[in-house]
Amino acid sequence: MILDLNLSLEEILVKIMLPLVLTYLISAFVGLERQNVGKAAGLSSHILVAMGSAGIAIMQRLMFEYQVGLAQGGLNIGPEQQRVIAQVVTGIGFVGAGVIIKDQAHVVKGITTATTIWVTAMVGLILGSGYILVGTILGLFMVILVLVRDIVRGFNPFKPQAKQEKPESESENKS
């Protein structure tokens, strides 16, 4: 059964398009900043993580609404299908861990990029779940934080500054 066909144009715009557009814009600002300061996870990574998270949240919200309708019709529906978002939170932690590296001087790098990936995913989940105001406010705070931090450090976050970092596995000489 295709559940999407039961949605009106207004529901498609409000429940699907608005959260996805806001998620895209917020994650693009953060990803562009990360890319322009030379980090391994940049524009595409942040957009993909956030959009995937928003998609999961939208799907779960629509599934819940469908299940409520079934329950009102007398069918007993369990909560098992409503645990998808919890798995996204865990999975994104692994994605973030992939950008954290220790260089030859044993300096750990990538913590900020890992956290921006995690928070953009959460913004996607929040917006996708329909909490437009909360997600937008969180996203704006995140954008302001990374932009102000770069400006204080003397970087222009809208202009590429450095070469992109490569994870250790890509930078090692392979014999």
As beta bridge partners, residue 108 has 102
Q: State whether the Cα torsion 89-100-109-36 is positive or negative.
A: negative
Residue with tokens 């999961």: 56
Q: In the chain, where do the E strands start and end?
A: 101-102, 108-109
- Residue 173 resides in a domain: no
Could you say which residues of the chain have pLDDT below 50?
1-2, 167-175
- Residue 175 resides in a domain: no
Domain tally, the chain:
1
pTM above 0.75, yes or no: no
For 166, residues 6+ apart whose C-beta sits below 8 A from its C-beta are 40
65 token code pair: 């609404």
The CA-atom distances, in angstroms, between 145 and each of 31, 33, 88, 132 are 13, 11, 24, 20
- Residue 20 resides in a domain: yes
Residue 87 has a pLDDT of: 83
Q: State whether the Cα torsion 52-53-55-60 is positive or negative.
A: positive
User: Between β-strands 101-102 and 108-109, what pairing exists: parallel, antiparallel or unpaired?
Assistant: antiparallel
**148, 142 contact by CB (below 8 A):** no
Domain encompassing residue 142: 10-157
Helix (H, G, I), strand (E, B) or coil at 130: coil
- Residue 5 resides in a domain: no
**79, 148 contact by CB (below 8 A):** no
- Residue 2 resides in a domain: no
Residue 22 has a pLDDT of: 94
- Residue 163 resides in a domain: no
Residue 20 has a pLDDT of: 93
Residue 150's nearest CA partner among 31, 5, 27, 33 is: 33
Residue 174 has a pLDDT of: 47
DSSP 8-class letter at 17: I
- Residue 128 resides in a domain: yes
- Residue 3 resides in a domain: no
